[in-house]
Structure 1
Amino acid sequence: MPAQRSISWSSALRDLKDDRKRRPAGALGAQASIAFRARTRPLVVAGQYDRAAIMAAAVFAAKTHQRTYGSTWAVAMSLALRAAWAAAKASRARTAH
């Protein structure tokens, strides 16, 4: 084993860049759509998730995402459901404490 180790700075920096979390296109828009819908129909009621409200908000956000980005329904719904559940979990944590 050699006494000195060599490091490739370009590969190390590329690995650092790849480790950063990337947001998919439209993630912020989906979060905004969910927040907009959550003002009229809360995602958490009495400490319990309102699954119907979460699904309705996700469908609204998915339709908006699909119109804006022209993605497939599966991609739009996946993104919207992740945003809706994240918003619901955050809302539940806020009301619990």
Structure 2
Amino acid sequence: MTKKTIMLVCAAGMSTSLLVQKMKNAAQKENLDVNIFATAASETDKKVTSENPDILMLGPQVRYLEGGFKKKYPFPVVVIDMRAYGTMDGEKVLTTALNLIDNK
């Protein structure tokens, strides 16, 4: 399995940082080779270029960016489930991301 890169985007890159950590912990438990990181919405283009993500996941607070990003990028762009985000359910968000990458 090739390493998958999951990019989380929120307003400032701060609120998703905790979720990134929870996702990394879940990936470690499953022995998955994934690169997960968060960035601010304003840094998205730069990070897409440098990191080549397989999926872009938006924090619910920046869901308004979804349409534009979907037109711009050739990989899945989704809004993170509100409940999973609110409860910082890293396992659920990771599973969602991997399923979308595998089924694109």
Larger Rg: 1
Same fold (TM over 0.5): no
Structure number having the greater strand percentage: 2
Give the alignment's TM-score, normalised by structure 2.
Answer: 0.29
